[in-house]
Amino acid sequence: MKTEQRSYWWVLAIVLAAEIMDLLDATVIAIAGPSIRTDLGGGTAFLQWLAAGYTLAFAIGLVTGGRLGDIFGRRPMFLAGAAGFTLMSLLCAVAPGPAWLVAFRVLQGLCGAVLIPQGLGLIKAAFPPDKLGAAFGAFGPVMGLSAVGGPILAGVLVDADLFGTGWRAIFLINLPVGLAALFAAALVLPRTAGRDPALRLDLPGTALLATALLLLVYPLVQGRELGWPWWCWAAMAASLPGLWLFTRYERRRVRAGRSPLVEPSLLAKRRFNAGLVVGLILFAGMMGLSLILSVYLQLGLGFSPRRAGLTQAPWALGTALGAVAAYSLNARFGGRKVLVGGTAVIALGAGLFLAFQGPWSMLPALLVLGVGMGASMTPYFDLVLAAVDEHEVGSASGTLTAAQQIGGAMGVACLGTAYFSWGSLDRVLWLELALLVVAAALCFLLPARARQEAPEPAGAQAELVAG
The pLDDT, as a whole number, for residue 79 is 93
pLDDT tens per residue across span 359-377 = 778 889 989 998 998 888 8
Distance of alpha carbon 109 from alpha carbon 122, whole angstroms: 21
Distance of alpha carbon 240 from alpha carbon 246, whole angstroms: 10
The answer to whether 50 and 29 have CB atoms below 8 angstroms apart is yes
The pLDDT, as a whole number, for residue 140 is 65
Per-residue pLDDT band for 50 (boundaries 50, 70, 90) equals confident
Q: What is the dihedral of CA 113, 409, 174, 45, to 10 degrees?
A: 110
Distance of alpha carbon 257 from alpha carbon 405, whole angstroms: 31
CATH number at residue 365: 1.20.1250.20
Per-residue pLDDT band for 315 (boundaries 50, 70, 90) equals confident
The pLDDT, as a whole number, for residue 3 is 40
Residue 420 located in a structural domain: yes
Q: Average of pLDDT values for 346-370?
A: 86
Residue 406 located in a structural domain: yes
Whole-number percent of the chain with pLDDT over 70: 89
Q: Average of pLDDT values for 426-444?
A: 88
Helix (H/G/I), strand (E/B), else coil: 125: helix
Q: Average of pLDDT values for 457-465?
A: 38
CB neighbourhood size of 448 (10 A): 12
Residue 235 has pLDDT above 90, yes or no: yes
Residue 388 located in a structural domain: yes
The pLDDT, as a whole number, for residue 45 is 64
DSSP character for 116? T
Q: Average of pLDDT values for 37-64?
A: 77
Nearest CA among 215, 214, 239, 222 for reference residue 417: 222
Per-residue pLDDT band for 234 (boundaries 50, 70, 90) equals very high
The pTM of the whole model exceeds 0.75: no
Residue 424 located in a structural domain: yes
The answer to whether 18 and 82 have CB atoms below 8 angstroms apart is yes
Amino acid at 198: A
The pLDDT, as a whole number, for residue 193 is 57
The pLDDT, as a whole number, for residue 465 is 34
- Number of domains forming the structure of the chain: 1
Residue 228 located in a structural domain: no
pLDDT tens per residue across span 212-231 = 888 987 887 777 777 889 99
Tell me the pLDDT of the chain averaged across its residues. 80
Whole-number percent of the chain with pLDDT over 90: 12
The pLDDT, as a whole number, for residue 192 is 62
Q: Average of pLDDT values for 98-113?
A: 91
Residue 464 located in a structural domain: no
Please measure the distance between the N-terminal and C-terminal CA atoms of the chain and give it in whole angstroms: 33
Residue 461 has pLDDT above 50, yes or no: no
pLDDT tens per residue across span 131-184 = 777 777 777 667 766 766 777 777 778 877 777 788 888 888 888 888 988 988
Most confident of 89-93, 206-210, 383-387, 414-418: 89-93
Better pLDDT: 27 or 239: 239
- Give me the domain span that covers residue 179: 2-191+261-451
Sign of the alpha-carbon dihedral angle for 290, 91, 174, 142:
positive
Per-residue pLDDT band for 455 (boundaries 50, 70, 90) equals very low
Distance of alpha carbon 318 from alpha carbon 181, whole angstroms: 27
Instruction: Please work out, in degrees rounded to the nearest 5, the angle formed at the alpha carbon of residue 203 by the alpha carbons of 199 and 206.
Output: 105
List CB contacts of 231: < 8 A, sequence separation 6 or more.
219
Distance of alpha carbon 418 from alpha carbon 424, whole angstroms: 8
Q: Average of pLDDT values for 109-125?
A: 85
Better pLDDT: 346 or 400: 346
Q: 1-5, 99-103, 239-243: which range is least confident on average? A: 1-5
Residue 205 located in a structural domain: no
Per-residue pLDDT band for 44 (boundaries 50, 70, 90) equals low
Residue 216 located in a structural domain: no
Residue 211 has pLDDT above 60, yes or no: yes
Nearest CA among 198, 154, 147, 213 for reference residue 28: 154
